[in-house]
Every structure is written in C-alpha cells, then in structure tokens.
Amino acid sequence: MNFVVVAPQSSHWEDSHRAAAILVKALRRIGHEAWLVTSVYHDGEPAVDPDVVEKSEEGFVEVERDVSGVPTIRVLSAKSMLPPGAVTLRSFSKILAAIDRRRGVDAVVVFSSFWNGPEEAAKWVTIKKMLAQSGEAEKPPALVYVPVYPTGAHGASPVEAVSRSIWSTLNLPQVLRQAAAVVVSCREEAEAIRQFRVPADRVIEGKWWIDPDYPEALAAGRPPLLEGFELVVSYAGPLTEEKNVKALARLAERMPQAAVAVVGRGDAVAWLRREAARRRNLVLVEDPSAVASVARGSLLGVDLSLHEPMGIRALEYLYAGTPYAASPTSRAACHITDGVDGARLRNPEDLEGVARLVSTLAKKPELREEMGRHGRRKTENLLATTLAETLVARLR
C-alpha cells in the first residue's frame, strides 16, 4: 500500500510531530511505501527554502534525505497567528490530489487537532469517494485520523480556547465521519472521541509509538557530559515554557547530589545554556541521537509539563528499563502505572515528589530494577511496526 502521513511540521522533540515520522519509518519497515507530508518547517525553522516550494510546479518538493529522518514531501505552508507558532498548509486538498497523481495514494494518515490539515484531507477523501461512486475514479483512499485530542485542562488563552471549541464543533465531526480508523493512545482519549459518536469498531486504542530504531539506539554509550555523575534524572523533549523547563533547573538546585540531564531544543535553550553554565549538575544535551543512551543511563525520567498531549517519550524510557515520573497535565501519566513502573506526580511543580522518589530508588536499587523490569515488560511489544501492521490489516 502507498501511504502519506500528514503532520503540521516535523520535529526531533515534539511528540505529536515526531510520531508521524515514526509511523512513516514503521510502514516502510514492513514493506510499504510511505512519505511524510508536512510544512516547510522542522522544529519551527525552515527545513527547505520556502521559495523553492513557492516556485514548484505543483506546490510541493520531495526530499528523500530529509532532516526528519524519513522521505518527506514539503508543501506550501505558512505560520498562523493562533496559536502562536502553529502551521497552516496552503491549498492542501489540491496538493494531495497532485501527490496522488504522481505517486498514487491508498491511505492518508493525518495527525493532530486544531489545524487545517485534518479537514483538508477529509475534504479530498470526500471528493474521491464521490468520484468513485459516480464511476469517475477507482477505489478512493482511506483516511486514518490520529487526533492527539486533549482531555484535561489546558492553559490556553480565552481566544485560543474559543478557537479550539469552534474547531471541535464544526470541523472535527466531519473529519471523524470520513475516517476509516481513528487512532488514540489511551482510554481517556478514546472516551473523548467516542462522544462524537464514532463507531467503536473504528477506534484503535494502542500505545504502539516506539521508534523501530530505538532498540538499536539503546546500545550507544553514555554521553561524555554525564561522566562523573552516579545519579542521573533526565527529561527529553521540547524546551519551551509549556514544558515547564524552569522547574527542571529548580530540580537541579533541589538535588545537588544528582545530575539533571535536559535533552532537547526549543525557545528556552539559550536560557538553559546560561543556567547549565552556573550549575554543574544541570546538563544540557542538544543532540537528538543521545536520547536513548541518556534514558538508559538515568535513574529516573521526568516530565513536568504544564501540557503535553501525547507523552510517548515515557514509553521509550520504560522500554529502556527506566522508571518515569510525570505530572497529571502530561498524557505521559496515562502511560504509567503509579508505583509499578513509575510515578504520577501531584502537579507540574511536585519537585518534592521527584526528589523523594529519586532518594528511594537510589537507596533501594532492587526496587529500581523491579520497576525497570515492569516497564520493559509493558513496552516490549509497543514498537510502531505493530501499529503499522494493524493499520494495513484494517484498511485492506
């Protein structure tokens, strides 16, 4: 089958964006054709010259060796005003038609909510269905939707909250009606989606989001920056205000006996560099290839996010045999069994809870090993190739 997997932008750090590239990789791993289709942006910066895309004949360029790590089609796009930094794909239904003419598309997998990609993909699939019914086209492509739909409170501005409400009322039902399958990552998200009267047999609930390359990456050695530290607590992900990175610096101050390794890039990276320069035990690692080795070498992984809609980085830590602690405002908390393979913190500022858990695990290495075993058992079958196989079986 030929798949296109659509996301607002590519990323090494943002779960809801990098998950699209993970799925492309998994589909290719099991023998199918798959391309990531996204904007010109990677982690907020142009990955290709926007002028080249503007001047292209059909509104897109194909990049076999893309910064995302998978073959990528970069399309006409722009940053929207609401929310700040969000991305819009321009003339996207027409571009999908052009991609279909060039490559043939059997299925469109589109990620995330509150942007124009899902409704544009649904519009194109609707047109293809109508053409097929009239005998003007062959079998129409299937639409698969991965909504990454938030279920808890989110500190959006009043204007953004209204915009999200309007999108959920007007656009989401249309997308869900056209979707042959809706992929959710936890029970809470499944319940939220079923409120829109999606038939139960269309909802695929699963946590199969671990990169197929991750097991091999775990063999890498510990980053030199962490040499000399016996205890390491780490976070991997975007370095933004929403991810509460200032709390990580306070955590380093709270636990001078441990290194707090922060692996990522983002708007707060310059601030974190300054903080790391004056705190020996706050270690900033900006190389995405170091995530697996840092996770494997950590006593504990943490996520203190004020909002994280997917939280699949937690699964990678558990796969590495490392317990994980997450705030209730991160969906990572849904992937953890409290007290078994990690901890659900009281709130994003629960530094005391993290410090207490670190102290306990350091004093009781047998407990750390037991929690690690539970995490490995939970995640050993959660490679994204399983999701890819599930989708192919569902759509055939």
What is residue 22's predicted lDDT score, i.e. its pLDDT? 99
In a domain, 301, yes or no: yes
Q: Are residues 13 and 139 in the same domain?
A: yes
In a domain, 128, yes or no: yes
Residues 6+ apart with CB under 8 A from 136: none
What is residue 127's predicted lDDT score, i.e. its pLDDT? 95
Contact of 2 with 36, CB cutoff 8 Å: no
Whole-number percent of the chain with pLDDT over 70: 98
Report d(CA 263, CA 136) in Å as an integer. Answer: 52
In a domain, 389, yes or no: no
Q: Are residues 198 and 234 in the same domain?
A: no
Domain CATH for 77: 3.40.50.11720
Residue 303 CA: distances (Å) to CA of 70, 184, 270: 27, 20, 20
In a domain, 385, yes or no: no
Q: Are residues 110 and 228 in the same domain?
A: no
What is residue 224's predicted lDDT score, i.e. its pLDDT? 85
In a domain, 393, yes or no: no
What is residue 34's predicted lDDT score, i.e. its pLDDT? 99
- Per-residue pLDDT, averaged over 214-239, amounts to 93
| Joined tokens for residue 204 | 């695929």
Q: Are residues 194 and 221 in the same domain?
A: no
Which residue segment(s) compose the domain that 43 sits in?
2-206
- Per-residue pLDDT, averaged over 42-68, amounts to 97
Report d(CA 90, CA 342) in Å as an integer. Answer: 42
Task: Using DSSP bridges, classify how beta strands 45-46 and 60-63 pair: parallel, antiparallel or unpaired.
Answer: unpaired
Q: Are residues 170 and 243 in the same domain?
A: no
Q: With 90 as the cut, is the pLDDT of residue 223 above it?
A: no
In a domain, 260, yes or no: yes
Which residue, of 139, 173, 206, is where some domain finishes? 206
pLDDT tens digits for range 69-94: 999 999 999 998 767 678 999 999 99
Which residue, of 136, 171, 206, is where some domain finishes? 206
- Per-residue pLDDT, averaged over 240-248, amounts to 97
Q: Are residues 79 and 151 in the same domain?
A: yes
Q: With 70 as the cut, is the pLDDT of residue 209 above it?
A: yes
Q: Are residues 357 and 255 in the same domain?
A: yes
Side-chain-side CA neighbours of residue 164 (13 Å): 17
Q: Are residues 252 and 166 in the same domain?
A: no
- Per-residue pLDDT, averaged over 319-330, amounts to 98
Report d(CA 281, CA 38) in Å as an integer. Answer: 38
Report d(CA 146, CA 15) in Å as an integer. Answer: 12
Interior angle at CA 315, CA 314 and CA 319, nearest 5 = 120
Q: Are residues 365 and 242 in the same domain?
A: yes
Whole-number percent of the chain with pLDDT over 90: 90
Unique residue bearing structure tokens 């269905």 = 129
Domain CATH for 283: 3.40.50.2000
In a domain, 312, yes or no: yes
* Number of compact structural domains in the chain: 2
pLDDT tens digits for range 245-304: 999 999 999 999 999 999 999 999 999 999 999 999 999 999 999 999 999 999 999 999
Which range, of 126-135, 340-349, 371-380, averages the lowest pLDDT? 126-135
Confidence (pTM): 0.96
The residue type found at 333 is A
Which residue, of 206, 240, 269, is where some domain finishes? 206
Q: Are residues 47 and 183 in the same domain?
A: yes
Residue 299 CA: distances (Å) to CA of 130, 224, 295, 322: 55, 17, 8, 6
Q: Are residues 183 and 307 in the same domain?
A: no
In a domain, 395, yes or no: no
What is residue 155's predicted lDDT score, i.e. its pLDDT? 63
- Per-residue pLDDT, averaged over 215-240, amounts to 93
- Per-residue pLDDT, averaged over 342-355, amounts to 98
- Per-residue pLDDT, averaged over 130-155, amounts to 88
Q: Are residues 34 and 122 in the same domain?
A: yes
What is residue 157's predicted lDDT score, i.e. its pLDDT? 80
Average pLDDT of the chain, as a whole number: 96
Q: With 70 as the cut, is the pLDDT of residue 31 above it?
A: yes
